[in-house]
Structure 1
Amino acid sequence: MALAIRDVREHDLDAVLALNNTAGRSILAIDAAQLRYFYDHADYFRVAEIDGQIAGFLIAMREGGAYGSPNYRWFSGRYPQFVYIDRIVIANAFRRHGLGRIFYCDVISYAEVRVPLLACEVFLEPRDDVVVLFHGTYGFQEVGQQRMGEDGPQVSLLARELPSFGYVRDTYLEHGGLPDVPWLAERLARPSQSPA
């Protein structure tokens, strides 16, 4: 079994959309336009590919975006710098094989050299204790709760401090930036984005 975690490519989007919309009640369905927004604007959008098949994906956004998610806006109103995990989806055939842990290690590696906080939410309706415990094992703690819209589910808003960020900020970010190596590189700007 050959596993690769890599940035999403445009030709992956149909498979990612199908995977998202068959994930069940704990992942909100999206349409092609919403997925295109993520493709164009997400700071972290990676897929797990196993033997040529998309087995999962994780999408995360930095602070300062125009993303309309009420949970993203909640964190935006309280924290100046963060990476917000919007969604992680693993295909049914590949669940309970450690892909979630691999993605979380990868997104933590991405975030800890850029921001002091990693954020996400978990649904409390329906409550999934496996998901709650999973986040606890990665050091996430509840920092709030809210209901997503009038009739939406109650969510627990979680955050994990990234203690290595202070060292990275003081050593690199305030003195010329991160080293120019592939594993620290940002996603390339999409055609509809202006370069940063």
Structure 2
Amino acid sequence: MPITIRDVREHELDSVLALNNAAGPSILPMDAAKVRFFWEHAEYFRVAEQDGLITGFLVALSQDAPHDSPNFRWFKDRHPRFLYVDRIVIARPRRGGGRGRMFYADVQSFAEVRWPQLCCEVFLQSGNDPALLFHGSFGFREVGQQVMPGTDIRVSMLMKEMCSHPFIAETYGTRLPDQPWLAARALPGRLGTLATGT
């Protein structure tokens, strides 16, 4: 059956939480309050659905989100406008099937019409070279490193310039054409408005 990438629905947050916390040590655990925070503040919060099951998700937030992540704050201290990929999780039995590449192609398409940069981090731990290679194949480059406060986890801070963004910003400003594929997620705190990353 085909894989569908779509916005998460509120009743699916428990499934997202369970998927996250079963992902293993390369993904930080979260609780119900954190997944609710993402529901309320993430500009991009989409799931992969196949055969009626959620098999993965990706969460990304703009620089304006009231996010307490030290990695998010690292980018916020250095860059005025960006979309930050907080986490991507693929269900273990479905890894290696292209869902990660589908998510990154989708989030990049979403970001490039709104922000000049797409950011994320990768844990620098033994056996995580595939994650660095994956991001490198999408054009991300390292712009710094940090040890996450209160942990011994060193992370590589990665960034990708959105090449199309200057043209789109100059041509359309914050008023994108009214097309379904350009629609922004209606955040609960901003119902009735379109999130444009401004």
Pairs within 5 Å for 1:115-154: 115-154=115-154
| Alignment deviations for residues 117-157 of structure 1 (CA, whole Å, 9 cap, x no partner) | 00000000345010010000001000010011132410000
Describe the SS at the equivalent of 1:37: helix
Q: Percent identity?
A: 55
- 2:53 equivalent to 1:53: yes
Question: What 5-or-longer segments of structure 2 have no aligned partner?
Answer: 194-198
Q: What is the distance in 1 between the residues matched to 2:134 and 2:5? A: 20
Instruction: Indicate the residue corresponding to 1:184 in structure 2.
Output: 182
Query: Given that residues 49 and 56 in structure 2 are in contact (C-alpha distance below 8 angstroms), is that contact kept between their aligned partners in structure 1?
Result: yes
Letter in 2 for 1:98: G
Instruction: Indicate the residue corresponding to 1:26 in structure 2.
Output: 26
| Alignment deviations for residues 3-28 of structure 1 (CA, whole Å, 9 cap, x no partner) | 11000001111110000001000000
Alignment length (residue pairs): 192
Describe the SS at the equivalent of 2:60: strand
TM-score, L = length of structure 2? 0.94
Q: What is the distance in 2 between the residues matched to 1:130 and 1:54? A: 23
Q: CA RMSD in A?
A: 1.1
Question: What 5-or-longer segments of structure 1 have no aligned partner?
Answer: none
Pairs within 5 Å for 1:1-196: 1-173=1-173, 177-190=175-188, 193-195=189-191, 196=193
Query: Given that residues 61 and 85 in structure 1 are in contact (C-alpha distance below 8 angstroms), is that contact kept between their aligned partners in structure 2?
Result: yes
| Per-residue deviation, 1:70 | 0.4
Q: What is the distance in 1 between the residues matched to 2:160 and 2:190? A: 30
Q: What is the distance in 2 between the residues matched to 1:165 and 1:152? A: 36
